[in-house]
Every structure is written in C-alpha cells, then in structure tokens.
Amino acid sequence: MADDDPGILFTQPDRNLAMELVRATEAAAIRAFPFIGRGDKNGADGAAVDAMRKFLGTVDFAGTIVIGEGEKDQAPMLFNGEVVGNGRGPECDIAVDPIDGTSLTAAGRSNAISMIAAADRGSMLDASSVFYMDKIVTDASGIGVIDIRKPIGENIRALAKAKGKAVDELLIGVLDRPRHEKLIDDIRAAGAGTRLMLDGDVAGGINAARYDSRLDMCVGIGGSPEGVATACAIKALGGFIQTMLYPQSDAERERGAAAGLRFDEVYEADDLVKGDNTFFVATGVTDGALVRGVERKGPIIRTESIVLRARSGTIRRVTADHLVQKWLGEDA
C-alpha cells in the first residue's frame, strides 16, 4: 500500500493518538465535575470510568489496559486486561486512572486529574501484583546524581548542588501519610522544605520533573501503577525517576516474585516502560499546579489538558470549551 493509503494499519502508536486520548480524559473530568466537593468519591469515580470507557471505545487503536484503577479499594474500575479501542489501529499498552485523586475530588481539594498513558504493546511493566513502590522523581538535574538507595538528606544535598541552589531553597513533595513521618522529618532536618500532598502523586511526580515547576523533588511510597504511568510522562519531560517495589506482606512478595518482579533492585524509567514511544495525557478535574480544573462558564464547560510525547519531547496544553447541554443534559 502507499503510505498515504487510508487503509494502512500502523503497528505503533502515532502522534495523532494522544490527541484522541485527550478526548477520553476530558470526558472523564467533565463527568466528574458535578461531584466535586460533594463527598462521594465512588460516585465521581464511577461517572469518570463510564465516560472514559465510552470515549476509548471510539479511538482507532487496540489498547490493552495493563494498569487499571480501582483494585485497591474496590471502586468502579477499568480493569487490568480490559481491551479498549475499536481495534482498527496500533496495539498499545494502556495505563488509566479516570480520577487520580478521588478523595481530592470528593472534598473539593486541588490536584485531582484524569489521566491516560500509552506505549507500544508489551512495553509497560505489569506491577499489578505489588500495589506499592518507593519513588524518587526530579527534573534532568537528578540524572547521575540521585540514588534512591541513599539517605534522603544526601540526595537533597546532591540535587541542590546540581541545581546550583541552596538546600533551604529546595521544595520536596511527599504524600501526607503516617508511613512518611520519618521521611518528612529527615527532609526538614536536611534543611529543605516540604509540600505535603493529600493525594495525587502522579501530578506530584510530573511537577517535580518540569523545568518551570516550584517543586524540586517528589519522593516516598505510593502506588506501583502510578509509578509506571508517571514514567511515561517523565520520558517526555527528560526527567529522572527511580523506584523500588514495596511489598506489604510476604504473600504479596511471593505473588510479585511469581510474576517476575525484582525486589531490592532499582527500577529506572526504561525498566518501567521500554522505548521512547510513550504518551501521557491528563485533564484537570480540580485546579492544580499541573493543569486547571474543570470550570463552568455560563453555557460552556472549560477544560485544560496536558499532552506529553516522549519520542518528540513535546509538551502541549489543550484548552477546550464544551457546550453544557451536550454533556450534562442541561438546558441552560
């Protein structure tokens, strides 16, 4: 076939896929909008899941969800192994989270996003048998400088030197969890400041890797699925990520070992997702440092999304206005 023949089947995700996937994250964010601040995180998640599944079904690709959501708390889910897309395009691994930050959405707090990551089929690490991993993320300054196995104070001082900053100028993002009490104390003892995140470590990791972000590092134990999804974005940003699996029990360690996962070893970006043909798209649900949240402006709903592609190293922001009656069934 000629290259311009519309019947040609692409074997890898191409540049147009990201702009198709952003329609699905926009849909999920819009459907979650009525639930913001209403205290119903499962209602928000269920509405977002339904919208994302519907829109993914229209996309020209054969996607297999390697990293789904909802397994940890039995929320509504796009499940691991689910096939999405219309089957008429490239085969892809997909990581989805219709809402990364359901509790943030329910409480009306900042930094909730809807996200999808995509890569060539067979390239994403399937870490679903171990729910948590320890992570450290920075911008390119951390490459060859940071080592997740070293004490956090040592890594902070090394990053400050690489960035040409004083230690007390560094801001470190950490999930606000009891398991991180000592980590937080150690960060502050080293002289750096902390930004405690209630949820949403995907957005935190991406912000730490952005050259124009106030956040210098994101560190701590969070979801393994979120770590793999974050790696897709980090590759587009040219940033740095290291992770180590963090099993919660001997049984979980055994399941992970049976699945071929490696413990006490460092997983870097290329271990989490192979190659550079990765995409990451996210739409804001609530306002945050990464993207603005959904806004109602009279007869329209405005969304802001970010689209990252590793192969080209591009970062695009997409602002879209949607007619309210087309989405929420309202007359006004």
SS (H, E, C) 230-265: HHHHHHHHCCEEEEEECCCCHHHHHHHHHCCCCCCC
Is 178 annotated to bind ligand? yes
> SS3 of 203, please?
helix
Is 177 annotated to bind ligand? yes
Is 132 annotated to bind ligand? yes
Is 284 annotated to bind ligand? no
Is 139 annotated to bind ligand? no
User: DSSP readout, 210-233?
Assistant: -TT-S--EEEEEEEHHHHHHHHHH
DSSP strand pairing (240-245 vs 267-268): antiparallel
Is 200 annotated to bind ligand? yes
| Residue 14 burial by Cβ neighbours in a 10 Å radius (0-12, 13-18, 19+) | middle
Is 7 annotated to bind ligand? no
Is 26 annotated to bind ligand? no
Is 14 annotated to bind ligand? no
Question: What whole-number distance in Å separates Cα of residue 94 and Cα of residue 96?
Answer: 6
Question: What whole-number distance in Å separates Cα of residue 189 and Cα of residue 185?
Answer: 6
Is 69 annotated to bind ligand? yes
Is 201 annotated to bind ligand? yes
Q: Which residues are annotated as a binding site for substrate?
A: 100-102, 132, 177-179, 199-201, 223
Q: Which residues are annotated as a binding site for Mn(2+)?
A: 45, 69, 97, 100, 226
Q: Which residues are annotated as a binding site?
A: 45, 69, 97, 100-102, 132, 177-179, 199-201, 223, 226
